[in-house]
Chains A and B, each alone.
Chain A
Amino acid sequence: QLQLQESGLGLVKPSETLSLTCTVSGGSMTNYYWSWIRQPPGKGLEWIGYIYYNGNTNYNPSLKSRVTISVDTSKMQLSLKLNSVTAADTAVYYCARGGAPGVPATMNWFDPWGRGTLVNVSS
């Protein structure tokens, strides 16, 4: 059974860079899209961006200038970097696999999800 586990620093200072890693186990990364999604405390879900196993990316236009997602299939990991963070970036950050193999990005859903990791932006 595929499992995803997010890891990284839980406290980041304003203006610095948020860095998270998602480790995948129990399955393959090949032929799938992999996304980062976040949820501010008490609020809804926001898609951050995705990366295909071959490295192709697509980012949320509202975050595009600050986001970088990368993948290392040999390590079974994907990573997220969000620079110039502010308090508005405080959220639980989830990684999730997209849909089924071969499904176009436009038709993708998210399953499974990691358990999420809370990142607090504060001085």
Chain B
Amino acid sequence: GENVEQHPSTLSVQEGDSAVIKCTYSDSASNYFPWYKQELGKGPQLIIDIRSNVGEKKDQRIAVTLNKTAKHFSLHITETQPEDSAVYFCAATDSWGKLQFGAGTQVVVTP
């Protein structure tokens, strides 16, 4: 089945710097890759997603890149702000269309 690995597990950045989180997946049939942001005690919220027919997608300060050949995708946050502090999860669909999640990255943005 699908296995999603996410790195790093924690990431500390200075306000204004960029943050990059990387995920790898194992199922070559995966075709949908969402990223979720989860604040403490709340449910995850979708922040951006990408499909396998696209290599990059941007939404203001957030971008996602996908390398199908290498089976990895990354989240890029530019000009980080304190409100970007949260846990971020990547996910990939498995062969049955169900989402498999990475273990999460705790991002801390220090002023």
A binds B: no
